[in-house]
Amino acid sequence: MTITGEMLIGARSHRGSDGEFRAVDPATGAELEPAFGGGGVAEVERACALAWAAFDAFRETGLEARAAFLETIAANILDLGDALILRAMAESGLPRPRLEGERGRTVGQLRLFAQTVREGGWLEARIDPAQPERKPLPRPDVRQRHIPLGPVAVFGASNFPLAFSVAGGDTASALAAGCPVVVKGHSAHPGTSELVGRAIQAAVASCGLPEGVFSLLFGVGNPIGTALVTDPRIKAVGFTGSRGGGLALMAAAARRPEPIPVYAEMSSINPVFLMPAALAARAEALGKGFVASLTMGAGQFCTNPGILLGIDGPDLDRFVAVAVEALGGSAASTMLTPAIRAAYDSGVARLSGSAAVATLARGLACSGPNQAQAALFGTTADAFLADPALQDEVFGAASLLIRCPDAAAMRTVAERLEGQLTVTVQMEPADGDAVAALLPTLERKAGRILANGWPTGVEVCHAMVHGGPFPATSDSRTTSVGTLAIRRFLRPVCYQDIPAALLPEALRDGNPLDLWRRIDGVPGQE
Ligand code: NAP
């Protein structure tokens, strides 16, 4: 399939005329063909009008039809074959195995949402039958189901050009909920975005859905994103990226005459607690495991372990010695974009320039454009507590080790942390009491708590939470990975004494959709 540099607005391809940009191969610094035409307010207007026109028809598609649509998107993405992988490699600098794995995850997540749609539990149908004889007042017939919010704006992430981008988790969960989607493609991987966008556009057509169910816009600079978020027909936003970008879009959404929810995943440093018995038992293995997790994918994961906490002593010294050696031998690796590499360098310079921070190790020197050297820094609990800037995210393979005098200091630091996507505890059974004392704090801080693993690598499943208190995300009540992500784009509607013929199928007597429903408080399939 040829990449044209056009936006996809409903069924049409459209060349934008508000500026031009090209993707850059971060491994060589070379610009890639073709040029992409940026869109403006007119394109946002057209895509949102189509999305709104499609909404009522799309949200009433049957469960089977909607599931088949998601599966068709997955099949069409696979049909793109190696052209998709080659373009994503050129635009991101990420290696083939990583992108093939990411394609598998993207397709798998679309199929998982198809299963979820079919099963119908997300409708959360509830029926409290009328009790006309109830005293002192009769009870009305009260029924509830969830409906989709409306068209959703999705901002793809730079660091997952497939799994968190055009057909990523935000798009899959919004479409599963019955929301049309308008994607603002990330300017770092527009060719990958166009290919995947065309796969979705073809699925919309072959499944006989209204064209406005999906559009893909490109733009130069921030105006197009702001115009999209402030369009009155957009009813929710999914975003993964920088704290600054997320905050700007949250502010734009809150300023609207009708404010809307923004589900932004922004910034997390994913603390790892090295408990004393774990350090005593396996300091060396922990040192190696930590460096492997930190440097994977040039550290460009939102779940990258950005700080470590341990109690000062010889076992922590053993951990540091191994980590310093492993990190010192780690090759420099290509980052996603020149801007992300520049942000990494300035974050590393900020830490290495701090009087309270020691540079413990740097990775091997860079040998090509846009490469970054891994970095490990050290500080004390007191210094960390005295300088809130030490917990700012440095996106990339940089981490800060905090030496704590005792378990109480570890808990004090934990208490001072901002909200996180993950916290990890490295522990042995003998650490049980200390971890039990930490857990209430960790639950308040993070969306996912892991024991004896590393935070990079997020399973796409029903129980996953990829979310957490601010600034990890803008809304700690949700997740952007896993089937629960569908809830972000739904709201409950209650039907009181509505005549049977007017009720949605999900709430009719006899349970025609064979749903799991809660009848008079009792779960079942009546
Ligand atoms: P970004 O700069 O926040 O961009 C994400 C998307 O939002 C892009 O489509 C961008 O448009 C758009 N955007 C950003 N600021 C905007 C604004 N003020 N108004 C309207 N639209 C806006 O993120 P990035 O390019 O992926 O990476 C930059 C930094 O984000 C990294 O250095 C890292 O700190 C952080 N990051 C965090 C995560 C995470 O998961 N926590 C993931 C990736 C990146 P353009 O395409 O035109 O730039």
Q: Give the ligand 1 atom nearest the CA of 245.
A: 15
Length of the chain: 526
| Ligand 1 pocket check for 72: Cβ under 6 Å | no
Give the Å distance between the CA of 517 and the centre of ligand 1: 40
| Ligand 1 pocket check for 304: Cβ under 6 Å | no
Q: Give the ligand 1 atom nearest the CA of 268.
A: 41
Amino acid, single-letter form, for residue 175 = L
Report, as residue numbers or ranges, the catalytic residues: 265, 302
DSSP per-residue string spanning 60-90: TS-HHHHHHHHHHHHHHHHHTTHHHHHHHHH
**CB 297 within 8 Å of CB 344:** no
For residue 524, what pLDDT is reported? 87
The full 3-state SS of 213-245, as one line of letters, equals: HEEEECCCCCHHHHHHHHCCCCCEEEEECCHHH
Average pLDDT per 10 consecutive residues for the chain, totaling 526 residues? 96 95 96 97 98 98 98 98 98 97 98 98 98 97 98 97 98 98 98 98 98 97 96 98 97 98 97 98 98 97 97 98 98 96 98 97 96 98 97 97 97 98 98 97 98 95 97 97 98 98 97 96 85
* Pairing between β-strand 272-274 and β-strand 420-426 as defined by DSSP bridges: parallel
User: Which residue's CA is the closest to the ligand 1 atom numbered 5?
Assistant: 241
3-state helix, strand, coil in the chain (%, to 5): 45, 20, 35
Q: What is the pTM of this model?
A: 0.96
Backbone angles phi and psi of 221, in degrees to 5: 85, -175
Alpha-carbon gap, residue 157 to 106, rounded angstroms: 13
For residue 203, what pLDDT is reported? 98
Give the Å distance between the CA of 72 and the centre of ligand 1: 29
| Ligand 1 pocket check for 225: Cβ under 6 Å | yes
For residue 241, what pLDDT is reported? 95
Amino acid, single-letter form, for residue 107 = V
Give the Å distance between the CA of 103 and the centre of ligand 1: 21
Q: Identify the three-state secondary structure at position 387.
A: coil
Cα→Cα distances 287→21, 312, 432, Å:
43, 15, 21
- Structurally, at CATH architecture level, domain 7-121+149-266+477-488 sits in 3-Layer(aba) Sandwich (3.40)
Give the Å distance between the CA of 394 and the centre of ligand 1: 14
Residue in 242, 249, 345, 346 to alter for ligand 1 test, most ligand atoms within 8 A of Cβ: 242
| Ligand 1 pocket check for 216: Cβ under 6 Å | no
For residue 377, what pLDDT is reported? 98
E-assigned strand segments in 406-513 = 420-426, 446-451, 490-496
- Structurally, at CATH architecture level, domain 272-451 sits in 3-Layer(aba) Sandwich (3.40)
**CB 77 within 8 Å of CB 103:** yes
Q: Residue 322 is encoded by which pair of tokens?
A: 């191994």
| Ligand 1 pocket check for 265: Cβ under 6 Å | yes
| Ligand 1 pocket check for 186: Cβ under 6 Å | yes
Alpha-carbon gap, residue 289 to 283, rounded angstroms: 10
Give the Å distance between the CA of 251 and the centre of ligand 1: 15
Give the Å distance between the CA of 190 and the centre of ligand 1: 14
Q: Give the ligand 1 atom nearest the CA of 421.
A: 41
Residue with tokens 């397709």: 107
For residue 209, what pLDDT is reported? 98
State the DSSP code for 163: T
For residue 151, what pLDDT is reported? 99
Q: In what order do the strands lie in the sheet with 214-217?
A: 12-14, 7-9, 214-217, 181-184, 152-155, 236-240, 262-265
**CB 446 within 8 Å of CB 421:** yes
Residue in 44, 102, 158, 247 to alter for ligand 1 test, most ligand atoms within 8 A of Cβ: 158
Backbone angles phi and psi of 297, in degrees to 5: 60, 35
For residue 1, what pLDDT is reported? 81
| Ligand 1 pocket check for 248: Cβ under 6 Å | yes
User: Which residue's CA is the closest to the ligand 1 atom numbered 44?
Assistant: 241
Alpha-carbon gap, residue 444 to 437, rounded angstroms: 13
| Ligand 1 pocket check for 301: Cβ under 6 Å | no
**Residue 275: CB atoms within 10 Å:** 25
Domain range summary for the chain, segments of one domain joined by +: 7-121+149-266+477-488, 272-451
Q: Identify the three-state secondary structure at position 353.
A: coil
Alpha-carbon gap, residue 375 to 369, rounded angstroms: 18
For residue 133, what pLDDT is reported? 97
Q: Residue 195 is encoded by which pair of tokens?
A: 């290919």
Distance, C-alpha 448 to centroid of its chain: 14
Give the Å distance between the CA of 479 and the centre of ligand 1: 19
